[in-house]
Amino acid sequence: MHYYTGQIIGLIVAETQAIAQEAVGLVKVHYSELPHILSIEEAIENNSYFPVNRRIVKGDIEKGLEEADFVFEGETRIGGQEHFYLETQATLIIPKLEDKEFEIHSSTQNPTETQITVASVLGIDANRIVCRVKRLGGGFGGKETRSIPLSLALAVGAWHLKKPIRCMLDRDEDIIISGQRHPFLGRWKVGVTKDGKLLAMDVQIYNNGGWSADLSVAVLERSMTHVDNCYYVPNVRIIGHLCKTNIHSNTAFRGFGGPQGMMITENIMCEIADSMGIDVNDFREKNLYVEGQQTHFNQTLKDWHVPLIYRQVKNDSEFEKRREEIDKFNSEHKWRKRGLALIPTKFGISFTALHLNQAGALVHIYHDGSVLISHGGVEMGQGLHTKMLQIAAETLDVPLETVHLMETATNLVGNTSATAASVSSDINGYAVSNACKTLAERLKPYREKMPDKSFKEIVHAAYFDRVNLSANGFYKTPDIGYNWDKNEGQMFFYFTMGAACTEVEIDVLTGDHTILRTDLCMDIGRSINYAIDVGQIEGAFVQGVGWCTIEETLHFPNGHTIHSSKGVGEPPLFLGSSVFFAIRDAIKSARQSNNNGATVALSSPATPEIIRLACDDEIVKNCKVERKDGESAWALRV
Ligand SMILES: *[C@@H]1O[C@H](CO)[C@@H](O)[C@H](O)[C@H]1NC(C)=O
Ligand SMILES: *[C@@H]1O[C@H](CO)[C@@H](O)[C@H](O)[C@H]1NC(C)=O
Ligand SMILES: *[C@@H]1O[C@H](CO)[C@@H](O)[C@H](O)[C@H]1NC(C)=O
Ligand SMILES: *[C@@H]1O[C@H](CO)[C@@H](O)[C@H](O)[C@H]1NC(C)=O
């Protein structure tokens, strides 16, 4: 059965890449159009879901909505996003004929699952397969599971041909075959008191999983646990639906549903504030959680710094002063409008699947005094290995140059979790640290006996005394363990928090926008490596900006319309939405200057077409605008 355009239908193996590509060109595929479902709306209409039932209920939603002075309803649409990692999916499989062993070099965030899945496809035990990863040219979640199908196909080829096989997808193949970030739809009903306090929040969340479930349940769960963003609501009901459609299987992408959940909330905040005619920032500030309150999944907030960060960014960005300057600018300019937005965020740190919150490490000290460490995490440009080397050097109290890390491999550390969920430095770091502590303890008597000697001499002495200079380390995150049925137990080990304030200018005539300034603050605790963390924040922010402005995924081949497709670290990613909400603010000014005070429901991404249309002036009114349901895909017919 084939479910989507781009699904792999076979494998061609050739001596060279050029021959293989030529052969692919000779394959004739006959397509016939079958009944299909592409968008979330079509899935809802046809009742096309994966059978999962997720809900989080706190308080009494009916009573809360009844007691509210105002009840607002709306819909929020959020589009997908292509990972566009620097290196496309790539795998090399080398069969070792003697003992039916296979060596896999894969650009995967998940060496263990690659190993286990290839073993099951070949019908052999996992102990005959080693998956090695030196580093990836970026992953962003796109290689957490969607890297595995390529390894499976190649493994079957290598099994039959008894030869090494390598494949690296071309960019277009990669985009067509592998999944993207999930598009989401939120349908909400929110009750508010007349003094602007949130009282009840009833949200139906839909995500477009594509043709297979893959990680979509976990992505849905994370959106459901982040739909409060930073706001306290006493009565909450969140129901999650997973739509089954005939597109590529959507998958993990930095933020993993969290940004989509928070995007729904912040749209709710804006639309309610506009409808009530109150200032959205006052509305936000009034509803921020305070220390000790419980989230809708009943986690008590400890070390809660969002109100402080929010006020700090507000002050440091000179928010009030610039608000006045922007209002003045907007009153003097008809075709250029500026907007300002200040957005808070929290992001829960832990895998929502409890068993994944574990990590292992293996550390050898060679008797020349050099140290080799291995751990379960994969390096993909995020600087994980650098942090692990720092932790090992600090725990063993040796210079950084003494410690080396060769690769991630399943025969060094087994049963590893995917490098994902922003936990990898934490869990692998503890595992490395635990292994190094064991070794430091064994070397302690020698360090005490010979305090003036070098590490090399100390190690050498221990070796001659037959001390074991290898150790493995293990870590499991304590305290956590949430029960979805009972809404009890701790979901996240902790939260990473931040806020960003962005000013933009839009060109009302073209829908183009320019970011004029962003002030951003993240609480990253005690940083292991400041330079890496700043890089991660900047990278995540920019990727978040792309997600909610210029990157749009379209699935609608339609000759009659003009398409404008622009195929182009987790917690800060959502702050990219400060650009989106600043754009929204600018659009509001543009509409007001046309005496249009109606609340705008802006779908993400806010592409130039969307911005242009949302300004909704005389010129737009003369165009016939046709909107395709779902995906935030719009078609313009003039
Ligand atoms: C979905 O529902 C519509 C309207 O009822 C129908 O026309 C269409 O054939 C259905 N699609 C599939 C794939 O069943
Ligand atoms: C929420 O958690 C607290 C402990 O933090 C517990 O006392 C309370 O019973 C829980 N509430 C619900 C509704 O499960
Ligand atoms: C407020 O921001 C200004 C600069 O914009 C800074 O000089 C001042 O120290 C800040 N005040 C607080 C309390 O952070
Ligand atoms: C690896 O995981 C399997 C099952 O998931 C378990 O049986 C085995 O004990 C684990 N091994 C280690 C070293 O943790």
pLDDT averaged over the chain?
93
254 closest CA partner among 540, 555, 631: 540
**For the segment 306-342, what is each residue's pLDDT rounded down to a tens digit?**
999 999 999 999 999 999 999 999 999 999 999 999 9
Residues 255 and 164 reside in one and the same domain? no
- Look at residue 284 and tell me if it is in a domain: yes
Ligand nearest to the CA of residue 236, numbered in listed order: 2
3-state secondary structure of 224: helix
Cβ of residue 35 lying under 6 Å from some atom of ligand 1:
yes
Residues 29 and 160 reside in one and the same domain? yes
- What does each C-alpha distance from 248 to 6, 43, 124, 229, 469 come to in angstroms? 7, 15, 29, 29, 48
Q: Which residue CA neighbors atom 1 of ligand 2 most closely?
A: 298
**What percent of the chain clears pLDDT 90, i.e. is strictly above it?**
87
Cβ of residue 415 lying under 6 Å from some atom of ligand 4:
yes
Q: How many domains, in total, are found in the chain?
A: 3
Whether pLDDT at 560 is above 60: no
Residues 333 and 394 reside in one and the same domain? no
Final residue of a domain: which of 178, 213, 229?
178
Residue 425 pLDDT: 92
Whether pLDDT at 566 is above 60: no
With beta carbons less than 8 A apart as the criterion, state whether 255 and 226 touch. no
Q: Which residue CA neighbors atom 12 of ligand 4 most closely?
A: 415
Q: How far, in Å, is the centroid of ligand 1 from the Cα of 559?
A: 22
Residues 302 and 373 reside in one and the same domain? no
- Look at residue 141 and tell me if it is in a domain: yes
Whether pLDDT at 627 is above 60: no
CB atoms within 10 A of CB 24: 12
Final residue of a domain: which of 476, 506, 540?
476
Cβ of residue 74 lying under 6 Å from some atom of ligand 4:
no
Residue 634 pLDDT: 42
- Look at residue 245 and tell me if it is in a domain: yes
Give the residue-averaged pLDDT of 117-133: 98
Residues 300 and 339 reside in one and the same domain? yes
Residue 295 pLDDT: 98
**For the segment 191-223, what is each residue's pLDDT rounded down to a tens digit?**
999 999 999 999 999 999 999 999 999 999 999
pLDDT band at 631; cut points 50, 70, 90: very low
Residues 196 and 330 reside in one and the same domain? yes
Residues 223 and 342 reside in one and the same domain? yes
Q: How far, in Å, is the centroid of ligand 2 from the Cα of 299?
A: 8
Residues 174 and 193 reside in one and the same domain? no
Cβ of residue 46 lying under 6 Å from some atom of ligand 1:
yes
- Look at residue 603 and tell me if it is in a domain: yes
Residues 378 and 526 reside in one and the same domain? no
Whether pLDDT at 568 is above 50: no
What is the separation of C-alpha 64 from the centre of its chain, rounded to a whole number of angstroms?
Answer: 32
Phi, psi at 625, each rounded to 5°? -110, 125
Mutate to test the pocket of ligand 4, among 374, 415, 476 (most ligand atoms within 8 A of CB): 415
Q: Is residue 570 flagged as an active site residue?
A: yes
Residues 25 and 169 reside in one and the same domain? yes
With beta carbons less than 8 A apart as the criterion, state whether 351 and 256 touch. no
Q: How far, in Å, is the centroid of ligand 2 from the Cα of 488?
A: 7
Residue 636 pLDDT: 37
pLDDT band at 138; cut points 50, 70, 90: very high
Residues 543 and 567 reside in one and the same domain? yes
**For the segment 252-263, what is each residue's pLDDT rounded down to a tens digit?**
999 999 999 999
Residue 555 pLDDT: 64
From the candidates 144, 505, 570, 631, give the one annotated as an active-site residue. 570
What is 323-388 written as a DSSP string?
HHHHHHHHHH-SSEEEEEEEEEEEEEES-SSGGGSEEEEEEEE-TTS-EEEEES---SSS-HHHHH
Q: Which domain holds residue 339?
A: 184-351+489-637
- Here the CATH number for the domain that contains residue 301 is 3.30.365.10
- 635 or 376: whose pLDDT is higher? 376
Final residue of a domain: which of 157, 178, 199?
178
Residues 551 and 568 reside in one and the same domain? yes
- Look at residue 63 and tell me if it is in a domain: no
pLDDT band at 30; cut points 50, 70, 90: confident
Cβ of residue 37 lying under 6 Å from some atom of ligand 1:
yes
pLDDT band at 556; cut points 50, 70, 90: low
- Look at residue 285 and tell me if it is in a domain: yes
Q: Which residue CA neighbors atom 1 of ligand 4 most closely?
A: 415
Give the residue-averaged pLDDT of 270-298: 97
**For the segment 482-518, what is each residue's pLDDT rounded down to a tens digit?**
999 999 999 999 999 999 999 999 999 999 999 999 9
- Look at residue 198 and tell me if it is in a domain: yes
Cβ of residue 414 lying under 6 Å from some atom of ligand 4:
yes
Q: How far, in Å, is the centroid of ligand 1 from the Cα of 95?
A: 47
Give the residue-averaged pLDDT of 55-69: 98
Phi, psi at 371, each rounded to 5°? -120, 135
Ligand 3 closest atom vs CA 312:
14
3-state secondary structure of 22: helix
CB atoms within 10 A of CB 610: 21
Cβ of residue 575 lying under 6 Å from some atom of ligand 1:
no
- Look at residue 51 and tell me if it is in a domain: no
